[in-house]
């Protein structure tokens, strides 16, 4: 890339200070230009359609439409779209979901300045960038059995502090069915009780507090 044909970048993050910092950093590079900034996932989708950037820096936690949903939607329309997830969360489930959605790089927001710039150039060239610390978290997840959609529903309600009776009522199943799901969840997560399951789910990014 050159000054005459720079890498065109969209920044999507709901924190203005983060967007300003990234834009300022990118502006120091002669081969890059920020073509648009989005404060949420919906805006990111609309701005992507309008500007067709070469690389998009995408936060995960944004209002209305989160980063994973935005990536999935954009790639359904533009399969070759290239994304770098820049997040403050290092839970292995967050990382897995982002890469499954199609992100080519996953960087933590405390990444060194050169890490972000190098990742932009690498992803634009068709490469991937997964730092060692992120790769290690992802490797931990690979050994864990996948939760079913219903088990994930139950786990979210456990994290929300619901009792078995409340979970059964909300999901319209029997308490016995809820207990079966909970036993499966504990086994798959490798924990011994509801509290440990809730803590594990939050730490790993399996469930997020709204």
Rounded to whole angstroms, the maximal C-alpha distance in the chain is 66
φ, ψ at 17 (rounded to 5°):
-60, -40
Chain-centroid distance of CA 82 in Å reads 14
Burial 63-92 (b: 16+ CB within 10 A, else e): eebbbbbbbebbbeeeeebbbbbbbebbbb
Answer for the pair 27, 52: CB distance below 8 angstroms, yes or no: no
Which stretches of the chain score pLDDT less than 50? Answer: none
pLDDT for the residue 22:
93
Answer for the pair 184, 150: CB distance below 8 angstroms, yes or no: no
At the second CATH level, the architecture of 149-204 is: Orthogonal Bundle (1.10)
pLDDT tens-digit readout, 26-40: 999 999 999 999 999
**3-state SS assignment for residue 37:** strand
Range(s) of the chain covered by CATH 1.10.10.10: 149-204
pLDDT for the residue 88:
79
Answer for the pair 39, 14: CB distance below 8 angstroms, yes or no: yes
pLDDT for the residue 144:
73
pLDDT for the residue 108:
85
pLDDT for the residue 97:
85
Range(s) of the chain covered by CATH 3.40.50.2300: 7-141
Which residues is 56 bridged to in the sheet? Answer: 10, 83
- Fold entry, domain 7-141: Rossmann fold (3.40.50)
Query: Could you say which DSSP state residue 147 is in?
Result: P
Answer for the pair 45, 71: CB distance below 8 angstroms, yes or no: no
pLDDT tens-digit readout, 170-186: 999 999 999 999 999 99
pLDDT for the residue 87:
84
Residue 104 CB partners (closer than 8 Å, separation 6+): 82, 83, 84, 123, 127, 128, 129
């Amino acid at each position: 890339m050159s000054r005459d044909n720079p890498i065109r970048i969209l920044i999507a993050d709901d924190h203005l200070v983060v967007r300003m910092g990234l834009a300022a950093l990118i502006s120091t590079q002669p081969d890059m230009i920020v073509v648009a900034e989005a404060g949420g996932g919906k805006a990111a989708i609309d701005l992507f359609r309008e500007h067709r950037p070469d690389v998009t820096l995408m936060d995960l936690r944004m209002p209305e439409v989160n980063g994973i949903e935005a990536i999935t939607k954009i790639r359904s329309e533009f399969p070759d779209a290239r994304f770098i997830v820049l997040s403050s969360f290092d839970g292995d489930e967050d990382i897995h979901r982002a890469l499954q959605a199609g992100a080519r790089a996953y960087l933590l927001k405390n990444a060194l300045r050169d890490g972000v710039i190098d990742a932009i150039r690498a992803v634009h060239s068709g490469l991937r960038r997964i730092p060692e610390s992120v790769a290690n978290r992802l490797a931990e997840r690979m050994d864990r059995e996948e939760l079913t959609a219903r088990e994930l529903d139950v786990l979210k309600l456990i994290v929300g502090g619901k009792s078995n009776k409340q979970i059964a009522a909300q999901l319209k199943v029997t308490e016995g069915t809820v207990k079966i799901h909970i036993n499966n969840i504990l086994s798959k997560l490798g924990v011994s009780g509801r509290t440990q399951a809730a803590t594990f789910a939050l730490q790993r990014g399996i469930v997020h507090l709204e």
